Copies of this chain bind each other. A is one copy, B any other.
């Protein structure tokens, strides 16, 4: 009877037993950065149409005002708060990405923790510790069922994020290993989310549920509500239902020694990751361009075939489709000198100047160019050419977002949808979270006075 034979129990025991002193400094630091990015994204998404509609539907279902919603005045029970904050943090496609699984871990994991901090109380270091462990649980379960799980159609952010949401909340609630195992069992039996839902608002239901139902699983387990003992590896458990390529050793191997959060990246732009080097090149060219943009005759982007396959969309009609459009991303980067949340708004997509530049942009495959690189060439009306090659886009593993860049991103997000937030104070509070006595202080800083 080894740990590897009982991965559900082994993961539960690891999370329950984890001591803050065992968390390496680099992991703590990445946890802080992950929370910072999460709070920024939650603020940026808080006025999105989908979030407004969700609140309208759920308002009569709001229970006791236990917790806040980043950037908003409404208060509600912890479960609805978890749902809405997770949906908001993910809705702009601006949140973190665990590169080995393409999962976005923070949106499912963090909201339940902030809700519990408000409803039950928690110190900053307790919340940070639980967050790091939750990300670890999500990503390890994801690793165990990739690649088939996602390839078949499971939206892994939701389907595996729920395990981290349950584990993290369970840690903050102080669950013993038996109850932590039940919490993971409740997560497993609620695991849901389809890639087919991406591109519609329905995506936000999956991500919101991952946070909500993971937290609910932990609360049920705390109360003694029993769950499956082998929910992941059991004969009729999560793994066999989720994937034809299961490697359960990915859950237990190196637990406490290697940390998945170190493979978590933050987006510099709220769009598809393959576009990052293209946007970097355009911003660089714009900074160097001595000529007005209206003299551009043609823009040719060369990149890995995946770039064209995923993003060659000259005819975009709204912000959602623009987020996966090479043409739109190039146009706004050259025209606005930015590719932030504002550049993917419907109004910008419809702007005649942007439309005029979009039609001049074309893409070509170059299998010699790695996926994290891109080449952009601008041809001016007078026949002259300017070119830029970016070997590693910002926000990719070789060039992670710096702390300063992350701070600026939080500022952009808050400025876009929650301008009342004291951004420097918020950033300072999160960066100092290890010394924060009351973690709920952070949520209070994100809502209107």
Contacts and interface: CB of A to CB of B under 8 A. Distances in A.
A202 B220 CA distance: 9
Contacts of A237: 153, 194, 196
**Copies of this protein, total:** 2
A206 B228 CA distance: 12
Contacts of A64: 60-61
A198 to B, nearest CB: 8
Contact of A60 (B56, B63, B154): B63
A238 B182 CA distance: 26
A61 B217 CA distance: 14
Nearest to A241: B153
A209 B77 CA distance: 18
Contacts of A191: 192
A235 B153 contact: yes
A116 B185 CA distance: 31
Given A64-B60, A231-B197, A190 B205 contact: yes
Interface residues on A, range: 35 or more
A252 to B, nearest CB: 19
B194 A220 contact: no
A193 B222 CA distance: 20
A391 interface: no
Contacts of A202: 182, 185-186, 189, 225-228, 231
Contacts of A228: 194, 196-197, 199-200, 202
A197 B227 contact: yes
A17 interface: no
A179 to B, nearest CB: 12
Nearest to A206: B189
A449 interface: no
Contact of A188 (B77, B189, B194): B194
A66 interface: yes
A12 to B, nearest CB: 14
A240 B200 CA distance: 19
A50 B50 CA distance: 34
B50 A225 contact: yes
A79 interface: yes
A224 interface: yes
A329 interface: no
A80 interface: yes
Contacts of A223: 53, 56-57
A396 B54 CA distance: 44
A72 to B, nearest CB: 17
A206 B213 CA distance: 11
A234 B152 CA distance: 11
B238 A194 contact: yes
A42 B236 CA distance: 27
Contact of A197 (B56, B189, B203, B206): B189
B206 A190 contact: yes
A166 to B, nearest CB: 11
A201 interface: yes
A11 interface: no
A73 to B, nearest CB: 18
Given A60-B66, A80-B61, A202-B225, A185 B197 contact: yes
Given A63-B61, A189-B192, A209-B190, A227 B201 contact: yes
Interface string A132-168: 0000000000000000000011110010000000000
A175 to B, nearest CB: 13
11 contacts: A57-B216, A60-B78, A61-B78, A153-B234, A153-B237, A194-B241, A196-B234, A196-B235, A197-B227, A201-B225, A205-B225
Interface of A: 50, 53-54, 56-57, 60-64, 66, 77-80, 119, 152-155, 158, 182, 185-186, 188-197, 199-203, 205-206, 209, 213, 216-217, 219-220, 222-231, 234-238, 240-241
Closest 6 CB pairs of A and B: A153-B236, A195-B236, A192-B192, A61-B63, A202-B227, A189-B197
